[in-house]
A = this chain, B = another copy of it.
Amino acid sequence: MFRVFRGYIIFMNKKLKAVVLLSGGLDSATVLAHAVKKGFDCHAISFDYGQRHRIELRCAKRISRQLKAADDLVIGFNLRKWGGSALTSSMKVPKGGLKSGIPVTYVPARNTIFLSFAISYAEAIGAKDIFIGVNSLDYSGYPDCRPQFIKAFAKCANLGTKATDEGWKFKIHAPLQKLTKAQIIRLGTKLGVDYSLTNSCYDPDVKDRACGKCDSCRLRKKGFAEAGIKDPTVYQI
């Protein structure tokens, strides 16, 4: 697009860039659709960190294409070097239903690592807006999903980059923070997300079918049921 002003052709690409953390799950797919709808030029970033459910990376690519992200980048590193989680070690994924406390699927400092890469990427491409799908209602009890953490990270991001010196600020958007899983699914459906492309399961089988029993599958199932929307997930059972 362009317009002509005093004989000059002026290109009108006013879209602001944003970096969107895209895991390939239901929440981050919804967040990407939300950021696209808001008019951002969305640069998706995913992580190949040694996760058990590596299928999510293929899902991330498909979602990024379905929702027309400007770019989809994968950063690889190996959190299995120290494990400490059922998602990055041989520890079993619990399937007995949600319990109180921090579950063993919590990956030490995962969102801190993910957000750090996101601000590095954002700073390099000139984006000031970062979108993340954390949620503090229907979630798994992870400390790095709570609002206080996101707020503290934003402060840290602005001090540890050029932002403060150059007089601008990073904004960490967490649009799902106060939504239930059902509300997220309703929002995403309205925004045109194809949830059959997403994976939430922590422990899919060799045919990539969801287990239906891990915390993440339970929350997903409950969400679709409460939203009154058909769950397109292929379950093992």
Contacts and interface: CB of A to CB of B under 8 A. Distances in A.
Interface of A: 73, 75-79, 81-84, 101-102, 106-113, 115-117, 119-121, 123-125, 143-144, 146, 148-149, 152-153, 155-157, 159-165
Taking the full assembly, how many copies of this chain does it contain?
A: 2
A120 B110 contact: yes
B159 A152 contact: yes
Contacts of A152: 152, 155-156, 159-160
B149 A162 contact: no
The A interface is mostly helix, strand or loop, or mixed, namely helix
Contact of A144 (B106, B121, B155, B161): B161
Contacts of A81: 73, 75, 121
B160 A124 contact: no
A82 B125 contact: yes
Contacts of A149: 156, 159-160
20 contacts: A73-B81, A77-B77, A82-B124, A84-B125, A106-B162, A107-B120, A108-B124, A108-B161, A108-B162, A112-B157, A112-B160, A116-B116, A143-B160, A143-B163, A144-B159, A144-B161, A149-B160, A152-B156, A153-B156, A153-B160
